[in-house]
């Protein structure tokens, strides 16, 4: 039995997220598994390192799968890219040790959120960024970002659908950069709850607009009340950037 590690890029705009759904074939995991099942001649299940939401993109999602058929890394990569939709690409295939597990072996996850912060819409990036028309105060957003660093119970920044036993996560870094109208928020942590990154970005946007004060964030976290976080940022601006092992 061979264990293959995949690195995958995808435009999540027309999919219902990464995770396979019983009532829909329109997921990233489902599309890849269908192709691999044809290649292997047996039912294949893949394990993703991060279950990205509907509409969210990936620059480097990691997954692994096992199959009995002997196929080279190049054969697997070529087959996948030949038959997958053109908004999903496999950019690397590596044979790994049997015990490698894309989810359990992940040490950190990196996401980047893109905001287009000009009065006019961006015609070419409208599917890959959130448009915020009013000017954001970057320095206030950076001040606010510091309150998210470290280990916290992020119940306030989860979704009601979250079924994790523990809501405690640790954020290692949160950086905000501005370049030619785009604001990029990069966050790295040991893991993220359902909708957590988009809710954090939503709070940072409200701080940048003067709707919330940066100093209010600790009380929002401590409250464990989801209603306190305000608007959740749109899905199209979020990218899974990298998974560390």
Q: Which of 11, 103, 24 is nearest to 65 (CA)?
A: 103
CB 7 within 8 A of CB 90: yes
Provide the annotated active-site residues. 53
Residue 151: which H helix or E strand, with range?
Answer: strand 150-153
CB 57 within 8 A of CB 89: no
CB 147 within 8 A of CB 163: no
In b/e form, how buried is each residue of 185-223, taking b as 16+ CB within 10 angstroms?
Answer: bbbbbebbbbbbbbbbbbbbbbbbeeebebeebeebbee
Q: Name the DSSP letter for residue 220.
A: H
SS3 179: strand
Q: How far is CA 124 from CA 127, 128, 195, in A?
A: 8, 8, 25
């Amino acid at each position: 039995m061979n264990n293959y590690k995949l690195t995958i890029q995808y435009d999540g705009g027309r999919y219902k997220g990464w995770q396979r759904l019983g009532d829909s074939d329109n997921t990233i995991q489902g599309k890849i598994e269908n192709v691999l099942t044809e290649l292997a001649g047996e039912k294949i299940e893949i394990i993703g390192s991060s279950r990205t939401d509907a509409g969210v993109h990936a620059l480097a999602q990691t997954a692994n799968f096992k199959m009995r058929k002997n196929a080279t890394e190049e054969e697997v990569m070529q087959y996948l890219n030949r038959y997958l939709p053109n908004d999903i690409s496999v950019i690397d295939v590596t044979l790994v040790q049997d015990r490698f597990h894309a989810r359990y072996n992940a040490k950190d996850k990196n996401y980047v959120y893109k905001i287009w912060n000009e009065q006019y819409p961006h015609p070419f990036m409208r599917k890959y960024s959130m448009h915020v028309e009013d000017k954001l105060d970057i320095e206030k957003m950076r001040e606010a970002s510091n309150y998210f660093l470290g280990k916290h119970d992020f119940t306030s920044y989860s979704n009601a659908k979250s079924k994790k036993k523990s809501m405690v996560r640790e954020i290692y870094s949160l950086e905000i950069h501005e370049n030619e109208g785009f604001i990029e928020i990069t966050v790295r942590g040991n893991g993220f709850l359902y909708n957590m990154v988009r809710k954090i970005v939503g709070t940072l946007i409200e701080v940048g607009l003067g709707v919330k004060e940066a100093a209010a964030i600790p009380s929002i976290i401590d409250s464990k009340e989801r209603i306190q976080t305000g608007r959740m940022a749109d899905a199209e601006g979020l990218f899974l950037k990298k998974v560390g092992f």
